[in-house]
Amino acid sequence: MAPALKLLVQRVALGLMLLFLVSALIFVGTQILPGDVAQSILGQSATPEALANLRQELGLNEPALTRYFDWLFNALQGDFGTALTNGQDIAHSVGNRLKNTLFLAFWAAVIAVPLAIFLGLLAVRFRDRWPDKLISTVTLASISIPEFLIGYLIMYFVAVKLRWFPSVAMINDGMSLGEKLSSIAMPVMVLTLVVLAHMMRMTRAAILNVMQSAYIETAELKGLNRFQVIYRHAFPNSIAPIVNVVMLNLAYLVVGVVVVEVVFVYPGMGQYLVDHVSKRDVPVVQACGLIFAAVYIGLNMVADVVSILTNPRLRHPK
């Protein structure tokens, strides 16, 4: 088996094993929470008979291992059960919320990824000069401020003072694309500022590392200007670490939007999870946790695959 193919198989197998272990941790974590799920649903005035019947209905009397494998088998088939608080099908509710979260993450990525790569290239082009220092200072300041604080500051100045966009990011299927983009403009700003610094600095560091290579010096001796050397020679050969950090931040845009969605009351997965955590709706929490884990691990697997395929020493071992 070729080295690249062998590594690909190992990465995929490792990702699936990691997802299995994470699913077990999610299930155990929700089961060891203090309190009684049946009691929290029926209230303190529930009779012992009603509590016993509900525990039987929810399968709480079954062994934990049996309940775990039943839950995992059903989840793999797309059946997450029904929410305890409202009796709605979790898969249907999660599908609508996940669509909204992916919509928000997509537009944040469309702005953040090209901007981060451009700023990284610009910082390398003007290394140790004022553009490089200004870009590094602004991006580091943005990543150092908590997301909720950035959100409230943007909400105050952009929505309250300037009245450019609505302060609450509510969207529905009846809205046009322009109305949706106007509604999510402020959450997109926050997410862009949060992930921009990490991607920009990794782009800068990866390109600067390649710039020390001998073939870069040869390209400069051939008379190419500095931007051509960076764009045509350094950037393509530093793509693997850049792809890794981009995928990590794309995963964050999907998984780490909980705070941003709560701040802007956005109807996505994060808001859905927070609402049901407060109600101790265990099946919903398990479903959201498993989906978040699958997205995060899946995007990291994609990053590993791209890194392997872009490595010429693995693709051409001879």
pLDDT digits (tens, 9 = 90+) for 229-266: 666 666 666 666 777 777 777 777 777 777 788 888 78
**Are the CB atoms for 295 and 254 separated by under 8 Å?**
yes
What's the chain's average pLDDT? 75
Decide if 187 contacts 169 (C-beta within 8 A): yes
Tell me the mean pLDDT in the region 112-136.
Answer: 79
Burial of 46 (0-12, 13-18, 19+ CB in 10 A): middle
Q: Is the pLDDT assigned to residue 213 strictly greater than 80?
A: no
Q: What pLDDT is attached to residue 291?
A: 85
User: pLDDT higher for 275 or 314?
Assistant: 275
For the chain, domain boundaries = 100-268
Count the Cβ atoms, other than its own, within 10 Å of residue 68: 17
Is it true that domain 100-268 has CATH number 1.10.3720.10? yes
Distance in Å from the first CA to the final CA of the chain = 14
Band the pLDDT of 115: cuts 50, 70, 90. Answer: confident
Reported as a pLDDT band with limits 50, 70 and 90, residue 223 is low
d(CA 10, CA 6): 6
147-187 per-position pLDDT tens digit: 778 888 888 888 777 778 777 777 777 777 777 888 888 88
Nearest-10 crossing angle of helices 90-125, 282-309: 40
Whether the Cβ atoms of residue 199 and residue 117 lie closer than 8 Å to each other: yes
* pTM > 0.85: yes or no: no
Residue type, 220: E
Per-residue pLDDT, 274: 77
The contacts of residue 88 (CB under 8 Å, 6+ apart) are 82
250 is written with which tokens? 């794309």
pLDDT for the residue numbered 91 = 79
